[in-house]
């Protein structure tokens, strides 16, 4: 009776500690042990096992019960899993702040430096006063880091670009006709910085001086193309005659002057 009480206490403790799975496993082990003991002895009359066949049946039953108890163990583990999942956020939380604090150190200084620019360029330009010159020279003052280039619009439809080694070619121009022109220059230095200057130039073509009435032609034995004689104003048929008479170049008001000698209207004939 004492042995049966101990066995019952063992099985009950297994149920309390291990739940259904632990209790069935303990009960199966007890039944399996009884069956094995009965097989060894041939029978156990006190437990109602009268033959080896019955003992084998008891042992088999104990094995089955033990297996059922073991199969129930994963279900018990599954019930415990939510508790572990619920606990996991508290352990993972401390890792996030360390990731955010490290980020600023990777994007600090590399992009802050920039190449220093040279001083900004300075340019001024002056146009000659109104006059009769068709080829003005424009005054200029430039302070800029070389090499630089200047693009100039002369105001008559012509635009020209050259570098700082050819400023004389940039700031002079020949106008084909008279008029008022806005001249604008744009300077670009070595760093791409620009500055603009402009001025206005007026070219007034000279008014032709009426030629004196030609003196009557005096027959002579010469070529007929030179100057007249007898103190009368000379008459020149063309520039060849002017040059042959040694009167070239000829100007308005000179004896023998004719406007046809000044084809470019610059006040000088037979240049």
Residue range(s) defining the domain that contains residue 6:
2-75
The DSSP bridge partners found for residue 197 are 185
Three-state SS at 5: helix
Instruction: Give the pLDDT confidence score for residue 52 in this predicted structure.
Output: 73
Asked, as a colleague might, if the bond just before 161 is cis with ω within 30 of 0, I would say: no
Query: Domain for residue 56, yes or no?
Result: yes
Strand ordering across the sheet containing 194-203: 159-163, 149-153, 179-188, 194-203
- The total number of structural domains that make up the chain: 3
| Assigned domain for 136 exists | yes
Q: Residue 140: pLDDT band by 50, 70, 90 thresholds? A: very high
* 229 vs 57, more confident: 57
Average pLDDT, the chain: 77
Asked whether residue 194 falls in the same domain as residue 224, the answer is: no
Peptide bond into 147 cis (omega under 30): yes
For 159, the 3-state DSSP assignment is strand
Are residues 170 and 230 part of one domain? no
The pTM (predicted TM-score) of the whole model is 0.38
Banded pLDDT at 217 (limits 50, 70, 90): low
> Which pLDDT band, with edges at 50, 70 and 90, does 219 fall under?
very low
Domain identity same for 186 and 223: no
pLDDT at 22 over 50: yes
Q: 69-73, 77-81, 149-153, 159-163 — which is least confidently predicted?
A: 77-81
Is the same domain home to 153 and 171?
yes
Which of 35-49, 51-65, 119-133 comes out lowest in average pLDDT? Answer: 35-49
Eight-class DSSP state of 152: E
Task: Report which of residues 121 and 268 the model is more confident about.
Answer: 121
Q: DSSP secondary structure string, 64-85? A: HHHHHHHHTHHHHHHHHHHHHH
Residue 85: inside a domain, yes or no? no
Residue 198 lies in a domain: yes
Residue 108 lies in a domain: no
What pLDDT, on a 0 to 100 scale, did the predictor assign at position 77?
52
| Per-residue model confidence as pLDDT tens digits over 120-137 | 999 999 999 877 688 999
Strands annotated E in 72-121: none
- Out of 75, 91, 111, a domain closes at 75
Asked if 134 and 194 sit in the same domain, the reply is yes
Residue pair 239/257 in contact by the 8 Å Cβ criterion: no
CA 213 to CA 48: how far, in whole Å? Answer: 171
CB-CB contact of 202 with 185 (8 Å): no
CATH number at residue 152: 2.60.40.10
With pLDDT > 90 as the criterion, what percentage of the chain qualifies? 29
Buried residues in 67-86 as b, exposed as e (16+ CB within 10 A): eebeebbeeeeeeeeeeeee
**Element at 184 (helix H, strand E):** strand 179-188
Query: Which of 113-117, 154-158, 176-180 has the weakest average pLDDT?
Result: 113-117
Q: Can you tell me the distance from the alpha carbon of 182 to that of 194, in angstroms, rounded to the nearest whole number? A: 19
């Amino acid at each position: 009776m004492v042995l049966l009480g101990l066995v019952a206490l063992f099985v009950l403790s297994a149920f309390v500690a291990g739940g259904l799975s632990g209790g069935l496993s303990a009960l199966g082990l007890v039944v399996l042990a009884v069956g094995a003991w009965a097989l060894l002895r041939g029978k156990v009359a006190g437990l109602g096992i009268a033959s080896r066949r019955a003992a084998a049946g008891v042992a088999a039953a104990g094995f089955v019960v033990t297996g059922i108890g073991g199969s129930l163990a994963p279900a018990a583990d599954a019930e415990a899993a939510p508790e572990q999942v619920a606990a996991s956020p508290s352990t993972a939380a401390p890792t996030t702040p360390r990731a955010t604090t490290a980020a600023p150190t990777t994007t600090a200084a590399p992009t802050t430096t920039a190449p220093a620019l040279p001083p900004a360029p300075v340019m001024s330009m002056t146009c000659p006063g109104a006059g009769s010159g068709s080829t003005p020279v424009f005054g200029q003052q430039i302070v800029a880091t070389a090499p630089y280039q200047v693009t100039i619009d002369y105001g008559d439809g012509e635009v020209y670009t050259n570098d700082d080694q050819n400023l004389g070619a940039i700031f002079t121009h020949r106008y084909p006709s008279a008029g008022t022109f806005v001249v604008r220059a744009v300077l670009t230095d070595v760093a791409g910085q620009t500055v603009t200057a402009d001025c206005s130039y007026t070219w007034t073509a000279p008014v032709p001086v009426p030629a004196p009435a030609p003196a009557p032609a005096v027959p002579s034995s010469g070529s007929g193309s030179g100057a007249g004689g007898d103190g009368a104003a000379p008459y020149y048929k063309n520039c060849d005659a002017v040059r042959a008479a040694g009167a070239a170049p000829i100007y308005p008001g000179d004896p023998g002057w004719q406007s046809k000698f000044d084809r470019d209207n610059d006040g000088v004939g037979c240049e």
